[in-house]
Amino acid sequence: MPRKAARGITSRSKDLNVTTGRRFSVRLTDNEKVALQCLVTEMRKRLPKKRITMSRVLRATTHLEGEQALRALAKAVCKIEVL
């Protein structure tokens, strides 16, 4: 049997924004940081009126679709393994 919430407090069964309050620390080498910064710079040129951050660009890579983009990503992953 579910517990009753305290009076006046609303509870939700599912968080609307799953990134809130959670930390996912990513350790990057200096070369990876430089490469990510280059991507951020390129995105800022293409989208000058938007606030583009390194975390936003990194998150955007999880939404890549299409055969060509996935092939390029796989090639980059293979390159990383060799280093």
Task: Enumerate the domain spans of the chain.
Answer: 30-82
- The amino acid sitting at 25 is S
pLDDT at 20: 56
pLDDT, residue 69, reads: 87
* Torsion angles phi and psi, residue 6, rounded to 5: -60, 150
Report residue 49: phi and psi, to 5°.
-95, 0
Is the pLDDT at 67 greater than 60? The verdict is yes
Contact 25, 55 (CB under 8 A): no
Q: Is the pTM of this model over 0.75?
A: no
Print the SS3 string covering the chain.
CCCCCCCCCCCCCCCCCCCCCCCCCCCCCHHHHHHHHHHHHHHHHHCCCCCCCHHHHHHHHHHCCCHHHHHHHHHHHHHHHHC
Report the pLDDT value the prediction gives residue 73, as an integer from 0 to 100: 82
Of the pLDDT bands very low, low, confident and very high (cuts 50, 70, 90), residue 70 is confident
* pLDDT tens-digit readout, 6-60: 566 666 566 555 555 567 678 888 988 998 999 999 999 999 898 988 888 888 8
